[in-house]
Amino acid sequence: MAQAPVRQRSHGTVRLSVSAFGGRSRIVDLAEAGPLRLRFPNVVDGTPEGILVNTAGGVACGDHFETALDLAPGTEFVLTTTAAEKIYKSDGPTSTIINRVTVAAGANLAWLPQETILFDHSRLRRSFEAVLAGDAGLLVVELLAFGRNAHGERLTDGLFEDVWRIRRDGRLTYADALRLDGPIDAMLARAAIGGGARALGTIIDFTPGAEARLEEVRALLDETTAGIDAGASAWNGHLAVRLLGPAIGPLRTAAARFVSAYRGKTMPRVWQS
């Protein structure tokens, strides 16, 4: 097998710190490097919102991206992305995306990126790590499309690895890992894995009191996710929702409806464009 050529790859980082001043959350430190940028649109409810922008236009062939957020006590922040993140075909090297968040006492973070699209022969390792204070709140939404549905694309080969580690007061409270390596489309066709699904959604609420909302969430899923396989469970103080759909479009619509109803707030404006 021919060796992949050595290329200059993208290495992007964003580090953001949020503190409270006069009862409002303010950006106090921002560092950007490579093609990653964070933009701050005007918001109407007073909660600062950041839009993560990848000016490289996508991820491929060994690119490396890191995002780190640090929320001080009593602050709030919403993070989203300007568009879907595209993971392009690789001729060998594996790309990495590392997300780290620290949420201090009484702070709340809503992590609401738009979907990630895996192209055929893409290779990606992604991780999400959170360090939470005892009463900190964290809502995470991650949507994943297996191939470009409009192109009829199938993932005949590829790698997708997704690792989650959440700690509260220094104790590991949530750990999850997904690894699909090889003929991903064939794997998803199996009933025990995807049942033929082409899109996946994960919504997890680590906010105190989330576990007690399980029955409310199941009712909301019945109202907002028609045509999508959806389920909810709750344990160890948090609540998890899983979504499986035939394509990213219907799943994205269902996820946005559910999250808006669950939060009692509209999704970030970029979700509506």
Q: What amino acid is encoded at 11 in this protein?
A: H
Residue 7 has pLDDT above 70, yes or no: no
| Least confident segment among 8-22, 131-145, 201-215, 250-264 | 8-22
Residue-wise pLDDT for 37-71, tens only, equals: 999 998 767 799 999 999 999 999 999 999 999 99
Residues 125-139 have a mean pLDDT of 98
Residues of the chain with pLDDT > 70: what percent?
96
Contact 167, 173 (CB under 8 A): yes
pLDDT at 30: 97
User: What is the CA 260 to chain-centroid distance, rounded?
Assistant: 16
What is the token pair recorded at 125?
A: 């390792």
What is the token pair recorded at 269?
A: 């404006």
Residue 146 has pLDDT above 90, yes or no: yes
pTM of the model as a whole? 0.94
Could you state, in order of their start, the residue ranges of all structural domains in the chain? 11-268
The Cα-based distances of 206 to 85, 235, 257 in angstroms read 24, 10, 20
Greatest pairwise CA separation for the chain in angstroms = 62
pLDDT at 150: 78
Distance separating alpha carbons of residues 240 and 10, to the nearest angstrom: 33
Distance separating alpha carbons of residues 123 and 96, to the nearest angstrom: 9
Q: How many helices (H) and strands (E) does the chain have?
A: 3, 17
**Please, which pLDDT band fits residue 6 given cuts at 50, 70 and 90?**
low
> How many CB atoms sit inside 10 A of residue 6's CB?
8
**Please, which pLDDT band fits residue 5 given cuts at 50, 70 and 90?**
low
pLDDT at 23: 87
Residue 131 has pLDDT above 80, yes or no: yes
Residue-wise pLDDT for 160-206, tens only, equals: 999 999 999 999 999 999 999 999 999 999 999 999 999 999 999 99
- DSSP string over 141-207: EEEEEES-GGGT---SSEEEEEEEEEEETTEEEEEEEEEEEE-HHHHHHSTTTTTT-SEEEEEEE-S
Distance separating alpha carbons of residues 134 and 104, to the nearest angstrom: 8
Residue-wise pLDDT for 91-116, tens only, equals: 999 999 999 999 999 999 999 999 99
Residue 4 has pLDDT above 70, yes or no: no
Residue-wise pLDDT for 11-39, tens only, equals: 999 999 999 998 899 999 999 999 999 99
> How many CB atoms sit inside 10 A of residue 51's CB?
20
